[in-house]
Structure 1
Amino acid sequence: MTIEQLQQICETFPGVTTDIKWENHLCFNVGGKMFMITAPDEVPVNASFKASDEDFEQLTEREGFIPAPYLARYKWVKVDNISRFTTAEWNQYARQAYQMVYDKLPAKVRKDIENL
């Protein structure tokens, strides 16, 4: 898995935007809210993403996965190397992270995204 492949996955979701935060973190957003943060300049490339309560518990027990610093209380998981997931797993977890953030957006914002 490369950062470009992960970016392609995230950009297939409706209304996704990207920006750079904290000088070198590529962030994926929907409705102005982050659902994934990557560190493409670090070797290996790492990422943090929002997870369900159940996935948060399961993933943080796996090697290379920890509760994301500063975001763990919101059930974000950090993976130390994006290659620890297969493409299929990234499709699943990125879509899930996107959907959880999207579902909490105000109705007007969701409607605007749907009309893009």
Structure 2
Amino acid sequence: MNAAELEKFGGTLAGVAVAVRGDDELVLSVAGHAFATLCLCGPERGRLSFAVEAGHFVELTARAGIVPAHYTARPFWITLIEPERFGAAQTQAFVRRSYELVREGLSKRQQVLLAARESAAPKKRAVRKRKD
């Protein structure tokens, strides 16, 4: 998943902000709490890091292409060091679950505000093609 794809996917999740930190890292956050980062340049370019459930951390880091993230202040974060091993659907599922984990950790007030923002957002309607 490249930066444009990650940013587009992040836009489908309620309350997500996207920012570039330090000129080399794309950060997706909800209510000011990061849930995914993508390295934009250097030897780690393309590596995606995100939060996982504590119970899945050991299982996931035992898989090829996944290592514990180097964020010492963020336990249970992993990094896809070989993102090409994972399809778009699986990568999106990882990022979505990370978003859910961070969102669940927000205060009740913040969760209520996000839910209100979700319900107030205009719904996309399916466009039907006309039969000619």
Unaligned stretches of 5+ residues in structure 1:
none
% identity of equivalent residues: 25
Unaligned stretches of 5+ residues in structure 2:
118-132
What is the CA distance between 1:83 and its match in structure 2?
2.3
Change (3 A) 1:20 1:41: same
| Alpha-carbon distance in structure 2 between the residues aligned to 1:77 and 1:71 | 11
| Alpha-carbon distance in structure 1 between the residues aligned to 2:15 and 2:114 | 5
Determine if the alignment matches structure 1 residue 104 to structure 2 residue 105. yes
| Alpha-carbon distance in structure 2 between the residues aligned to 1:24 and 1:95 | 22
Deviation by residue 1:18-50 (Cα, 9 ceiling, x = unmatched): 112233111000011000011122464111100
Determine if the alignment matches structure 1 residue 66 to structure 2 residue 67. yes
Q: Which residue in the other structure is 2:122 paired with? A: none
Secondary structure, counterpart of 2:19 in structure 1: strand
Q: Which residue in the other structure is 1:87 paired with? A: 88
| Alpha-carbon distance in structure 1 between the residues aligned to 2:99 and 2:105 | 10
Q: Please, what TM-score do these two structures have when normalized by structure 2?
A: 0.78
Which of the pair has more CA radius of gyration?
Answer: 2
RMSD of aligned Cα (Å): 1.8
Is contact 1:2–1:83 with CA below 8 Å preserved after alignment? no
Q: Which residue in the other structure is 2:17 paired with? A: 17
Relative contact order: is structure 1 or structure 2 higher (C-alpha 8 Å, sep ≥ 6)?
Answer: 1
| Alpha-carbon distance in structure 2 between the residues aligned to 1:73 and 1:24 | 19
| Alpha-carbon distance in structure 2 between the residues aligned to 1:19 and 1:73 | 19
What is the CA distance between 1:72 and its match in structure 2?
7.6
User: Residue type matched to 2:100 in 1?
Assistant: Q
Determine if the alignment matches structure 1 residue 75 to structure 2 residue 76. yes
Q: Which residue in the other structure is 2:125 paired with? A: none
| Alpha-carbon distance in structure 1 between the residues aligned to 2:55 and 2:109 | 29
